[in-house]
Chains A and B, each alone.
Chain A
Amino acid sequence: MIAQHFPVLQVVLPLIAAPLMILLRRGTLAWLLAVIVSWTGLFISLSLLAQVADGSVISYAIGSWPPPWGIEYRIDRVNALLLMLVSLIAAVVVIYSRASVAAELPAHQHYLFYTLFSLCLAGLLGISATGDAFNLFVFLEISSLSSYVLIALGRDRRALMASYQYLVMGTIGATFYIIGVGLLYLMTGTLNMADMAHRLSGVTEVRPVLAALAFITVGICLKLALFPLHLWLPNAYAYAPSAVTAFLAATATKVSVYVLLRFYYSIYGESAVFSALPMGKILLLLSLAAMFIASAIAIFQADLKRLFAYSSVAQIGYITLGISFDSATGLTAGIVHLFNHALTKGALFMLLGCFVLRLGRVRFSDIGGIARVMPFTSFGIVLGGLSLIGVPGTVGFISKWYLVLAALESGQWWIALAIVLSSLLAVVYVWRFVEAAYFQEPDAGIAQLKEAPLEMLVPAWLMIAACFYFGLDASLTIDGAAQAAATLLQGLQ
């Protein structure tokens, strides 16, 4: 009975929990509620994923107003995967966040942190679940506004400037998106995505519709931090509280990639975007630029959080590279890397948070020889780094394997070479960590540190374990991604 309301409950539960947390006013109680909500959310998302596994589509009419008039929540194999990913990361991060937040934020802000976390979660899940283009904008702003505040909670005063810059760029991005949706609404008279796709079929070469595509592409690419629109990301990730960085790095940009996919494949249709327009070439160039330039910048960072933030920009390049091939294999590679990178980066930022807990910050100059005193944290980062590089046995290898396959399939062997070359840049920055943590003598300050508490290490290591599990047995993720790609290529029925 209740199961038929799962699509909306997925989004509404964290949304309702957020104001309740303000009423609770106690950090521990708010945390408990956040745990309950996010784990229930994970259960709901898994159930939704199971329901759509056979290729069926769940259409949920909010308030029983039938689509296309009312707002429709539409769950298919693509966004069920996204809902699962976001819920999973939230469920793991919320367990981790208690110790991390207790150390990084003053006690009177704890309940507010969990309130914002729930709001951000509701926004991200809403973006994924909704089948209405304007509703998507509202959820985009819910998640964005809460993440601006979450970033500003960072202890360093630079967190404030990072948050302000993200606010300006994020708002420009969202406004570009809404201009695009406005133009589409003017042309089609509908906001429902399926209805819009139906009405646009065959007339996508009309100028306002093309202008809408341009606005939506730029707006969403700002949110997903595609090179060169990534300028907000490094500072935002570097100065935000550790739990926030782990959550946002693993989910926020991924959800934006989903929005781009939804518009490109489901609404405009693959042929209108990739055959009639040189979108594939543009994405390809920007992706390659991201892979090389962002990786190269990452190598020279003094701060580990900034280093891995730049690495995120590069990894997003791999995701969009997969999309740019405009083939089933490429799309599968993009989606599977979306999942794999979320696992890897989530784990890495959680482990960096363990260093922040003990040191207050994670600059290379502070962590000399730290592997002696914090062996589990350090070794976890090395394993996560191997996954970033794409060593066989890790999820990173699976992604890159499929990317190389897609490149060869499209006959562009030089891209396959570029993928391998850019991975070498990842070797350099991961090695910098190994050298600092393992090959330097710990000074007196480092030597008296203790290993991070289990409640932070266990969630982080769970994610690292997942990186290896899905690296060795990729059938589950590859099948899921391949089915999602097939659903996208079919278009909305």
Chain B
Amino acid sequence: MNLAGHFSYWITILLAITGLYIVIARGNLIKKLVGLGIFQTSVYLLYIAPGKLIGGTAPIIDGQFTLYSNPLPHVLILTAIVVGVATLALGLALVVRIREAYGSIEEDEILELDKTGVFPDTTTSKPA
């Protein structure tokens, strides 16, 4: 078992666990999104690290080189990053709306408000 040789996987696992832990353990809605972001980032590493070959160059065909790195993981992860950005943006937008509706971004306070608080009139629409 080559521990040092697999260091990129160790970092991936560490990031994934850290991210998931933050999502589960933190009650602050923004911190949860940060955790989610870290969790997603670990996947980027999982894809990109194996695409690199030691001694390989950029995949532009040239007579001098025979060894190329795999470009496909980068392209895939570019897509995944876009998805991650969209998710984070939407999540933050939701937190803004939650703050407007509840006056809090702490999960336990919000759940408490839902249990005991007075609900806004359900027949009128929310502010745009």
Identify the A interface with B (CB < 8 A): 105-106, 108-109, 134, 137-138, 141, 145, 148-149, 152, 155-158, 160-161, 163-164, 167-168, 171-172, 174-175, 178-179, 182-183, 185-186, 191, 360-361
A182 B47 Cβ-Cβ under 8 A: yes
Q: Find chain A residues with CB under 8 A from B29 CB.
A: 164
A-B contact count (CB 8 A): 87
B80 A178 Cβ-Cβ under 8 A: yes
Q: Find chain B residues with CB under 8 A from A152 CB.
A: 94, 97
A141 B90 Cβ-Cβ under 8 A: no
The CA of A191 and the CA of B73, in the complex, are separated in Å by 11
A360 B120 Cβ-Cβ under 8 A: no
Interface of A is mostly: helix
A179 B87 Cβ-Cβ under 8 A: no
What is the chain A residue whose CB lies nearest that of B88?
A171
Q: How many chain B residues touch A (Cβ–Cβ < 8 Å)?
A: 39
Q: Find chain B residues with CB under 8 A from A106 CB.
A: 125, 128
Shortest distance between the CB of A241 and any CB in chain B (Å): 11
B43 A105 Cβ-Cβ under 8 A: no
Question: Can you list 16 contacts pairing A with B, beta carbon distance less than 8 Å?
Answer: A106-B125, A145-B86, A155-B124, A155-B125, A156-B119, A156-B122, A163-B94, A164-B95, A164-B98, A168-B33, A172-B23, A175-B43, A182-B46, A182-B47, A360-B122, A361-B122
Please pick, from B39, B76, B125, the residue contacting A175 in the complex, using a CB distance under 8 A.
B39
Q: Find chain A residues with CB under 8 A from B20 CB.
A: 172
Q: Find chain B residues with CB under 8 A from A171 CB.
A: 36, 40, 87
What is the chain A residue whose CB lies nearest that of B99?
A160
What is the chain B residue whose CB lies nearest that of A189?
B70
A168 B23 Cβ-Cβ under 8 A: yes
The CA of A185 and the CA of B47, in the complex, are separated in Å by 9
B119 A360 Cβ-Cβ under 8 A: no
The CA of A191 and the CA of B123, in the complex, are separated in Å by 48
Given contacts A134-B76, A168-B36, A172-B23, contact A160 B47 (CB under 8 A): no
A167 B46 Cβ-Cβ under 8 A: no
CB-defined interface of B90-128 with A at 8 Å, one 1/0 digit per residue?
Answer: 110011011001100000001100100001101111101
Given contacts A164-B95, A168-B36, contact A158 B43 (CB under 8 A): no
B102 A157 Cβ-Cβ under 8 A: yes
Shortest distance between the CB of B76 and any CB in chain A (Å): 6
Q: Find chain A residues with CB under 8 A from B47 CB.
A: 182, 185
Please pick, from A137, A149, A161, A191, the residue contacting B90 in the complex, using a CB distance under 8 A.
A149
The CA of A109 and the CA of B126, in the complex, are separated in Å by 11
A157 B101 Cβ-Cβ under 8 A: yes
**CB of B57 closer than 8 Å to a CB of A:** no
The CA of A417 and the CA of B76, in the complex, are separated in Å by 48
The CA of A164 and the CA of B86, in the complex, are separated in Å by 14
The CA of A182 and the CA of B48, in the complex, are separated in Å by 10
Q: Find chain A residues with CB under 8 A from B94 CB.
A: 148, 152, 160, 163-164, 167
Tell which of B86, B90, B128 has the most Cβ of chain A within 10 Å: B90
B87 A167 Cβ-Cβ under 8 A: yes
12 additional contacts (CB under 8 A) given A141-B86, A141-B87, A145-B83: A105-B125, A138-B79, A148-B94, A155-B123, A157-B98, A160-B101, A164-B98, A174-B83, A175-B40, A179-B46, A182-B46, A191-B76
